[in-house]
Amino acid sequence: MQSVPTIARARSLWWVAVCATLFGCGSEEVTAPTTNNDLFASVTLAAAAGSLSDLSSSVPDATGQFIYVVAKEPNGPGVFKVPAAGGTPTEVAAGDPFSQPADIVLSTNGSTIIVADPAAETGKGAIYQITPPNTAATPLASTNGTAPVALDLRQESGADIIYYCGTKDGEKAVFKITTAGLEVLHKGAPLNAPTGIVVANDGAIYLADQGTVHRLSGGTITQIATGLRMGSPAGITLTPDQKTLVVSSKSSDGKAQVDIITIANGNRTVFNNIIGANSAPGGLHGARNANGFTGVYSWIDRVAGIYRLGP
């Protein structure tokens, strides 16, 4: 007959195996990652949620002076502009045709706002472009029906190219919009429900997908990290040197943080200065220009508001 300690140990090992299988909580979750609060020299609350609700994602312009956010106000869902140093959100475009805007990016010259709305166009989703001061939201026809949820953009051969996560033939997919039209880069497994995407200068695509970070490069998907408690949506971006991923997430006790993942070796630390007082992390984007990321970021807490992170 087995002794009581032996039985208890067996049960404990069984639960660890079940936990790892069902929830992705293997041994890497036992020890909390080291805190690294040197990544961002400053953290500023650009705007409290206030009259805005359903805060989802935001992006700073290349100058770092303004942040654009997708959210909802009494006039309806839409796009709003906030001074990065702090101030009151102003409406850029709200109401029809937006239904549930999920993500936002800017063209590298800052003149065009691009918005992903998975519920627009009679519930099938589309990507829209706005060119202020014109407030009209124009759908990109090739994206209709693809339920886009996450966006990124980078300049290639002098042209801004949009990448996004959405749905194709009932499966989760990664898309690229080129001058020739819509290109499907990957569809189906191992993707579950990616809600964050960032494209590196070398063309590698990183996806934040229900606790796992994937890299899509040359048509092949590899796992970079797993076991993260990602935000909703799962914002992901890169540092200016393109060596480190930055992912919106939560700690084991539910506090907001940003995971810092070294791409070369998978080493993981966390940033939680000031933002750790919150508990509803959302989208995260870095400011881009034609050369890449500038080092200024915006991060959403869906309850608290919009933050500027950076120098």
pLDDT of residue 298: 98
Neighbours of 35 (CB within 10 A): 15
pLDDT of residue 147: 97
Range of the domain at 120: 32-310
Claim to verify: residue 97 and residue 126 sit in the same structural domain? yes
pLDDT of residue 23: 36
> Cis bond leading into 5, ω under 30°?
no
Claim to verify: residue 106 and residue 194 sit in the same structural domain? yes
pLDDT of residue 204: 98
Q: Is 57 helix (H, G, I), strand (E, B) or coil?
A: strand
> Which residues lie closer than 8 Å to 239 by C-beta, 6 or more apart?
39, 246, 293, 295
Claim to verify: residue 26 and residue 54 sit in the same structural domain? no
| Residue ranges of the chain whose pLDDT lies below 50 | 1-30
Claim to verify: residue 118 and residue 103 sit in the same structural domain? yes
CA 126, 166, 227 angle in degrees (round to 5)?
140
Report helix, strand and coil shares of the chain as percent, to nearest 5: 10, 50, 40
In this predicted model, what pLDDT tens digit does every residue of 207-242 receive, in sequence order? 999 999 999 999 999 999 999 999 999 999 999 999
DSSP assigned state of 33: P
Claim to verify: residue 120 and residue 224 sit in the same structural domain? yes
Claim to verify: residue 18 and residue 63 sit in the same structural domain? no
Sign of CA dihedral 113, 116, 119, 124: positive
Strand partners, 186: 174
Claim to verify: residue 63 and residue 205 sit in the same structural domain? yes
**What is the spatial distance between Cα 89 and Cα 300, in angstroms, rounded to a whole number?**
14
Claim to verify: residue 14 and residue 124 sit in the same structural domain? no
**What is the spatial distance between Cα 295 and Cα 40, in angstroms, rounded to a whole number?**
9
- pTM for the full predicted model: 0.89
**What is the spatial distance between Cα 95 and Cα 98, in angstroms, rounded to a whole number?**
6
pLDDT of residue 31: 59
If phi > 0 it is left, if psi is from -120 to 50 it is alpha, else beta; for residue 96 that is beta
| Number of separate domains in the chain | 2
Please report, for the domain that includes residue 166, its CATH number.
2.130.10.10
pLDDT of residue 10: 38
Structure tokens at 104: 């936002």
Claim to verify: residue 245 and residue 107 sit in the same structural domain? yes
**What is the spatial distance between Cα 110 and Cα 162, in angstroms, rounded to a whole number?**
14
Claim to verify: residue 21 and residue 93 sit in the same structural domain? no
Claim to verify: residue 40 and residue 154 sit in the same structural domain? yes
SS (H, E, C) 147-168: CCCEEEEEEECCEEEEEEEEEE
Query: CB–CB of 54/306 below 8 Å?
Result: no
Claim to verify: residue 21 and residue 60 sit in the same structural domain? no
Neighbours of 230 (CB within 10 A): 22
